Amino acid sequence: MSAFLVALIAGIGAGALYAMLGSGIVVAFRGSGVINFGHGAVAGYTAYSFDELRESGSLYLPWFDPIPEFGFLQTLRINNLPVRIDIFDNVTLAEKPNLAITFIICLLMSAFLGLLMHFLVFRPLRNSPTLGKVIGSIGVFLYLSSMCAVHFGGQNRYDEGFTGFNSTSGAVKNFLGLGGTIPRSNFWLFGAAIVMCVAVWALYRYSRFGIATRAADENEKGAALLGYSPQFLAGANWVLASVTAGVAGILFLHKTQPAQIALFVVGGLGAALFGNLTSIPGATMGGLIIGMIASGGVELTTNSWWPEIIPGDGVRNFMPLLIIILVLYFRGDKLPIRGSISIGRQPRAPTSTNVIIGAIAALGIGLLLSNIFVSKWEAVLTTTIIAIVFMYSLTVLIGFLGQISLVQWTISGLAAYVMIRLMADGTKIRETDFVTNTGWGWPTVLAFIAAIAVAVIFGLLVGLPALRIRGVQLAVVTIAAVIAVESLLLRNPPLMGDGSVSVNPTPSPNWFGQYVGGFNPNTARTDYWKFSLFIIIIAGLIGVGVANLRRGQIGRRFLAIRANERAAAAAGINVANMKLLGFGISSGIAAIAGCMLAYKLPGLQTDQFEIFGGLALLAFAYLGGITTVWGAIVGGCLIAGGLLPEFLGVHFESVDTGLINAVGAIGLVVNAKVTNGEGVALLQTDLAKNTLAALRREPDETEEAEENSNNDTEEVTA
């Protein structure tokens, strides 16, 4: 019992990080009405900057040189966008730069990040619908994480930073006579969280800036009438929020790897919700509670009676989700939705015309590119097609139904694992396999169907909260679910097999006697032609199905719900059923994508389905166009390793995946602003249409269009 209590108290260490991140999220939310998923990434980037300054004396600016540094471009020497500033000379291990100066420089960096976020992302998106804002903050998350990978290699860092806050500061023995030890740094971090809480709270309570922010939070229009610029206040709050994130990142540098801090945003989100998104002390308390119950829960798993099937890490990562669900369940309707002066319209979701012609054309192009005819693009083509299939699931759920779920890629992973486990029978499949999986040895088709069924059931479970909560809050739940499911299911050795940390070999898939795996035993490469044909056909069928769905009754109903749930109920639509149906269909499609990926590869690795991969796929789906089948196809071609980047002749290795994702994140934000998420696909359809119309018609047509757009803006401001 006392060990449990000690663990609870020790949890204030991790809790302090959640508390600080949560406070920052609240600050940003009060200032701008945006829940920032990228808040942890700001902390991570600042922490990396701090370490880099201490180690090498260089400061990396949060951007990259857009002109790649290889090939003939390198010889042209036109790469001159400053990326690195060498601040300290002669840095050695013995003589590191001054702590305080480094600290201040890094806080300036985080303030700069805050300004960039405000001016480049959230200010332009201030009138976008919820989806646009969520996507914007996911763009920040992806971009900064990618920048960390590009500049700092995503490597672990060991700078000890401030004395007291690092792990070397010893331990408190026998705390309060309970026995056991608690790291002394936990108390320091706890103290820092309390100091930050009081400081920010006092700033809001007593300063003119704080009072104006609170006023704008209550009533943006009213504050504007009193002469406070809401946008100035928003910018100032972004800076404040980023600085608190920076402080958290630097203080935790030695306790938590900077690469991980971005993911701790989930605990921060839980903390912020606990504080009702408005209260700094509430968020601080929420963070500490999450940290403490997580630590206590992990302690419980060390007991002998604890079932081995629930790993300690899973318990830890489940706690933020638990708190978020509890808060939303009990206060779901009462959580503030910060009013802004206007809210933009949803992205259009036109019906697909010429579905059959399009499908035949796509099939033809796919076959032409496949290794049936060309042997060069096999891996690229199948990667692209799998991404497209996955993006169809987002088209249905986010594009048609308007439910922002970030967990779909995890569902793909779940399905892939379930399928592999069901198919495996303990035999070694290839010479190269160094692990064998035991399992039930189900036939391929049966395992495939069962995997889809499991995914659909899981998707329905995720959909349940969506019946009560909507918009950005659903995004918060699902991102917490990603973290929890990853560690509870996908990284769970007893459940997912001994190989889940390294490689899970895929048993050879046989559909009706035909081997359709991607791995070709003759060439020892993943270029087997039957696999290409197989997934081209599957992708074609699903694409036609999704396009037809939009044309049919269900598609209309999904869009009706997306537009207006109240009116949908008045039109006799069972909103709850339709939402669950959407989650089910989407999860089924995502599961197929996951299983296809399992067929393609000789083995599955857990990190293929981790959060960054999922968010990057969402980013490119949004970039292509989240509301149309055509958009999913465009999005699939854009991903790292997809057709377009490969055709551009650039072969991207690990670091450059970061670059591609960074480019995608930028495109994401631009797209959210410019096309409202309709994406490249609709943009070019519109361009084609407008050009045709301009060629055919006299100018009064365009005047009419202008009038309509004027009407729209009027309505928005009204």
Site of interaction with other proteins (CB under 8 A): 345-346, 348-349, 355, 544-546, 548-549, 551-557, 559-560, 562-564, 566-575, 577, 581, 585, 708, 711-712, 715, 718
Query: Least CB distance from residue 511 to other proteins, whole Å?
Result: 21
Which residues are registered as beta bridge partners of 603?
A: 505
Query: Least CB distance from residue 478 to other proteins, whole Å?
Result: 22
Question: What count of residues does the chain have?
Answer: 718
Contact of 174 with 3, CB cutoff 8 Å:
no
Residue 386 or 585: the one with the smaller Cβ distance to other proteins is 585
Which token pair is 661?
């994702």
Residue 31 or 588: the one with the smaller Cβ distance to other proteins is 588
Residue 316 or 579: the one with the smaller Cβ distance to other proteins is 579
Residue 73 or 571: the one with the smaller Cβ distance to other proteins is 571
> Can you point out the beta strands (E) in 551-696?
603-604
Report CA Rg, the chain. Answer: 26
Q: Is the dihedral of CA 269, 274, 275, 278 positive or negative?
A: positive
Residue 485 or 538: the one with the smaller Cβ distance to other proteins is 538
Query: Least CB distance from residue 635 to other proteins, whole Å?
Result: 20
Angstrom distance (rounded) from CA 342 to CA 714: 10
Query: Least CB distance from residue 139 to other proteins, whole Å?
Result: 24
Residue 222 or 441: the one with the smaller Cβ distance to other proteins is 222
Query: Least CB distance from residue 581 to other proteins, whole Å?
Result: 6
Query: Least CB distance from residue 632 to other proteins, whole Å?
Result: 15
Query: Least CB distance from residue 576 to other proteins, whole Å?
Result: 9
| 698 contacts: CB under 8 Å, gap ≥ 6 | none
Number of Cβ atoms within 10 Å of the Cβ of 158: 13
From the centroid of its chain, how far is CA 332?
22
Residue 435 or 575: the one with the smaller Cβ distance to other proteins is 575
Query: Least CB distance from residue 707 to other proteins, whole Å?
Result: 10
- DSSP-based three-state secondary structure for 316: helix
Query: Least CB distance from residue 588 to other proteins, whole Å?
Result: 10
Contact of 438 with 498, CB cutoff 8 Å:
no
Angstrom distance (rounded) from CA 272 to CA 277: 5
Which token pair is 404?
């922002």
Residue 69 or 712: the one with the smaller Cβ distance to other proteins is 712
* DSSP code of residue 176: G
Residue 308 or 686: the one with the smaller Cβ distance to other proteins is 686
Nearest to 288 by CA among 261, 319, 331: 319
From the centroid of its chain, how far is CA 388?
18
- DSSP-based three-state secondary structure for 470: coil
Q: Is the dihedral of CA 394, 396, 400, 403 positive or negative?
A: negative
From the centroid of its chain, how far is CA 397?
16
* DSSP code of residue 607: G
Q: Is the dihedral of CA 446, 449, 452, 453 positive or negative?
A: negative
Query: Least CB distance from residue 220 to other proteins, whole Å?
Result: 14
Residue 123 or 348: the one with the smaller Cβ distance to other proteins is 348
